[in-house]
Structure 1
Amino acid sequence: MAFWSKWLPRANPVRQPQNSIVGSGGGILISTAAELEDALRGGTLAGSGQAVTPNTAMRVGAVYACVRLRAGVVANMPLDIKRRVDARTREDASDHPLWTLMRRRPNRWQTPSQFKRMMQAHLLLRGYAVAMKVVSRGETRELIPLHPDRVRVTQRDDLSLRYDYTRRDGRRVVLEQADVFHLVGLSLDGVNGLSPIAYAREAIGLSLAMEDHGATVFRNGARVSGALTHPGKLGPEGQELLRESLDQFRAGGERDGKTLILEEGLDYKPLAMNAEDAQWIESRKFSRTDIAMFFGVPPHMIGDTEKSTSWGTGIDAQTQGFVTFTSEDDLTCWEETVNRDLINPEDDTLYARFNRAALVKGDLKTRWEAHVKALQWGVSSPNEIRALEDQNPREGGDIYYPPPNTAGAGSDNGGTNEPAQTA
């Protein structure tokens, strides 16, 4: 044996076959064929026989719509970095590198909306999202997203987190907690998030099985609209002649709705949808609603408006519920994670805050009604409102109008509606 071989390990050590999947914390004993299949599939086989993974789940329209909606809210909403000037004053920290990172360029190839949309999709499909920090001179300059399937998160005895990342070339890299931006959804251990795909596996697997069943039925042509009956028996030549005549009649769409002439006592009987087919359609609708429930999305937002009114306060109330209970949960997760992982803990003046007013950007009437109320009650000045609408300030627009006469005649301005103070 050479001298250096005692100090340098072999590049590709030979691994002996084992009857367990061994990790740093122990092993999983495999004693049956079912356990082996479950381990090889990663525990993704549903009761319907479909392998449900985050990639196959996105083939289901309801899953794709839910992920698109929730990720779009986070991606399209501006994430501001604020600075506390004093106990009552806040300002945009546009001079801080983190502002550029979250508002301009998170890395060398993605825009902020692309980065946030992808990370939120990882969070929804796998329960967590991970990005590696590129730090220069004590400040995070880039966020490199890592695929969650290649990252294994464990907690040491000292409660610190360890991230084992497997590169595309097979090499394993160990990242410390200070090197990672880590988003976690609903969790039972505080370290690993729960994947909705894992808990909705049966509903998604059922939907995949029904889609495959429907595609097979239509591919094989098993769905017929009617049947032709003959009082006697047709020979091979008669059957071939009848088949050619029907194919010629069906060719092209210009004969749709025309009358079919039958000879030799042929009788046509239309076939209506049977109970099995009707139950298949109802099952597809139920699975769609069930999947929407797992993702916290109202069914009408993914196109299921059958059991809810399409007008009035019904849809409005459900949409507001989505904003209050679902989107707010996502926004809070991002804000607190940015505060923990990207802001120096010694700097208690910086914090992250989504501009939630962007949710009503598309509703012109609601947006301007809010502006008028903010102006009337002295919450905002005209120039602040113009800045929200991306308009230049005007001269004399930095004034705050006093609220309507609710304080009585003892107010400083005598109850008039004159400007109370300047900015």
Structure 2
Amino acid sequence: MKLIDTIKAAFQGADGGQQITTSDDLEAAIRAANVGSAAGMPVNANTAMRVSTVFACVRLISGAVANLPLHIKERVDSETRIDRTDHQLWTVLRRRPNAWQTPSQFRRMMQAHLLLRGNAFAMIARSGSKVLGLIPLDPDRMKVTQLDNLRLSYEYTRRDGGVTRLTQDEVMHLVGLTLDGVNGVSVITYARESLGLSMAQEQHGSNTFKNAARPSMVLLHPKKLGKEGQENLRASLDAYRQGGDQEGKALILEEGMESKPLSMTAEDAQWIEGRKFSRTDIAMFFGVPPHMIGDTEKSTSWGSGIEQQSIGFVTYTLEDHLTTWEETINRDLIPEENVYSRFNRKALVRGDIKTRQGFYVSMLQWGVLSPNEVRKLEDENPRDGGDVYYDPPNTAGGQGESNDDQEPTRD
């Protein structure tokens, strides 16, 4: 759909879009439309997901947020923390956020909204102070306004064209990178040129291989060729270029015609290198190391190897998103001061048995964890006598005899 058609449809309220009555509505419609890039490709959140690099980055980050265990904990004192499995929010976040989604589906979708639009919204269903459910809302239909008292107001356009107004207490609002403190910045907006270039390169490659990966040619005729002759010649050439039964056969030209190919070599276009650069450039916007989306050619760009790149991803990218979720849940969903949400980051190494083994051995040796706590982390039942904490090795004050009880050494 062209931009003018999109605006006309918005004026008419077509496709459930918000009717345009003010300049702000017009600006929102233009932002939601297929705004083109310098490469001539329409770029928005939906078209961007057709780029393999964007899809891989969104899938990777959203999957990590969706699959990490999310706990509700209570701070008993400065040193003691306990799990609050009896808390109503534990059921919402760990069992049933709403009537149709699983917890991982809900978090995955909300995180995808956050990555592609810069914002993610969910309406909070409450009974008194208890949260009963979270209803995800389309960020393209939401308008956020900061009132004079600095509170936020939300206007959500329903599918029937009506508007539902919500207060700040009724909305869970995840915000990414923000420049005004209210609305998050969309990656798609600032990566528009890189995405447009990548889509243009992909379309160029598709068109090239559609024509059997052969460039077009120029045919020179010694005389004037009529319109009917041009159509017949073009049809025969198109059939020849498409391969099939004609593959490998010679091209026969009549009436003294000559052919001259219009060749564009790989050195001229640098098409493959351009594709690689676009892939790395887009991954940079999302903070994903290239090797995690299949680009292993430059595996040391984030550190001294693949392992360091993975550590960098967890530290500098994933940690940012996990903290956003935790702080938003604490602000919008938990009224108690000593209750808070916390992702179990140790689950990130669940697939690496060697790393888990080394971690457990170290924690047991230094008395940080008991055997039963290790078994709990591995989803195993406790064993008898497994609640003991071992004394750290090579330290004074152990269970052995002290030096004062030993006989002095005689020469």
Which TM class, normalised by the smaller chain length?
0.7 to 0.9
Which one of the candidate residues 144, 152, 162 is aligned to 1:161?
152
CA distance in 2, matches of 1:208, 1:250: 30
Q: Could you say which residue in structure 2 is the equivalent of 1:379?
A: 368
- Matching residue within 394, 397, 400 for 1:414: 400
Which residue does the alignment assign to 1:4?
none
What whole-Å deviation, never above 9, does each CA across 1:15-44 have from its counterpart, x for those lacking one? Answer: 9xxxxx654xxx3699xxxxx999386472
Partner Cα distance (1:29, 1:134) in 2: 28
Aligned twin of 1:181: 172
Equivalent in the alignment of 1:254: none
In structure 1, the gaps of 5 or more residues are 1-13, 16-20, 31-35, 226-235, 252-259, 263-270, 417-423
Match for residue 323 of structure 1?
Answer: 314
Conserved 8 A contact 2:215-2:263: no
SS of equivalent to 2:270: helix
**Aligned AA (1:395):** D
Matches within 5 A, 1:77-88: 77-88=68-79
Give how far 1:87 is off.
2.0
- 2:305 match: secondary structure: helix
Question: In the TM superposition, what is the alpha-carbon distance from 1:314 to its structure 2 partner?
Answer: 0.6
Alignment match, 1:122:
113
Q: Is 2:339 the partner of 1:350?
A: yes
Distance 1:120 1:404, change over 3 A: same
Question: Which residues of 2 match residues 122-161 of structure 1 at below 5 A?
Answer: 122-161=113-152
Candidates 373, 390, 394, aligned match of 2:383: 394
1:201 aligns with 2:192: yes
In structure 2, list runs of 5 or more residues that go unmatched.
1-11, 14-19, 217-231, 252-261, 403-411
Question: Structure 2: how far apart are the matches of 1:140 and 1:384?
Answer: 31
The correspondence of residues 235-246 of structure 1 with structure 2, limited to 5 A, is: none
Alpha carbons 1:38, 1:44 under 8 Å: kept: no
Mark the CA change 1:38 to 1:179 in structure 2 (over 3 Å): closer, same or farther.
closer
Once residues 137 and 124 of structure 1 are traced to their aligned partners in structure 2, the CA distance between those partners, rounded to angstroms, is 32
TM-aligned CA deviation for residue 413 of structure 1 = 2.3
Residue range with higher mean Cα deviation, 131-140 or 214-223: 214-223
Contact 1:152 1:165 in 2 (8 A): yes
CA distance in 2, matches of 1:309, 1:169: 52
Select the structure that is richer in helix. 2
TM-score of the two chains, using structure 2 as the length reference: 0.79
Could you say what secondary structure the match of 1:80 adopts?
strand
Equivalents in 2 of 1:137, 1:39: separation in Å? 40
**What secondary structure, in the 3-state scheme, does the structure 1 residue paired with 2:310 have?**
helix
1:364 aligns with 2:350: no
Measure, in 1, the Cα distance between the counterparts of 2:37 and 2:119: 22
Question: Could you tell me whether the CA contact under 8 Å between 1:405 and 1:415 is conserved in 2?
Answer: no
**SS of the residue 1:385 aligns to:** helix
- 1:96-125 Cα offsets, whole Å, 9 max, x none, are 001111111111111111111100000000
Q: Distance in 1 between matches of 2:190 and 2:349?
A: 33
Q: Which residue of 2 aligns with 1:46?
A: 37
RMSD of aligned Cα (Å)? 3.4
How far apart in 1 are the matches of 2:155 and 2:76?
A: 40
Contact 1:134 1:141 in 2 (8 A): yes
**CA offset at residue 187 of structure 1?**
0.3
* Contact preservation (8 Å) 1:44, 1:198: no
Distance 1:40 1:401, change over 3 A: closer
Tell me which moved more, 149-158 or 38-47. 38-47
In structure 1, C-alpha distance between the alignment counterparts of 2:167 and 2:182, rounded to whole Å: 14
Change (3 A) 1:109 1:261: closer
- Code of the residue aligned with 1:156 in structure 2: it is L
| Counterparts in 2 of 1:322 and 1:197: CA distance versus 1, 3 Å | same
- 2:199 matched to 1:213? no
Q: Is the 8 A contact 1:81 1:92 kept in 2?
A: yes
Total equivalences in the alignment = 358
> Identity of paired residues, percent?
61
1:68 aligns with 2:54: no
Q: What displacement does 1:362 show?
A: 0.3
Q: Is the 8 A contact 2:123 2:134 kept in 1?
A: yes
Q: CA separation of 1:75/1:68 partners in 2, compared to 1, >3 Å: closer, same or farther? A: same
Per-residue deviation at 1:223?
A: 1.8
Q: Deviation string for 1:121-159 (max 9, x for gaps)?
A: 000000010000000132011000001001111111111
Residue 306 of structure 1 and its aligned partner are, at CA, apart by: 1.3
Deviations along 1:140-191, whole A, 9 cap, x unmatched? 1100000100111111111110110011111100000000000000001110
CA distance in 2, matches of 1:170, 1:29: 13
What is the aligned partner in structure 2 of residue 256 from structure 1? none
Q: Structure 1 373/37 Cα, relative in aligned 2: closer, same or farther at 3 Å?
A: closer
CA distance in 1, matches of 2:325, 2:296: 31
Q: Which letter does structure 2 place at the counterpart of 1:178? A: D
Alignment match, 1:288: 279
How far 1:221 sits from its partner (Å)?
3.3
Q: Answer yes or no: is the 8 Å Cα contact 1:127–1:194 preserved in 2.
A: yes
| Local SS of the residue matching 1:50 | coil
What is the CA-CA distance between 1:210 and the residue it aligns to? 1.1
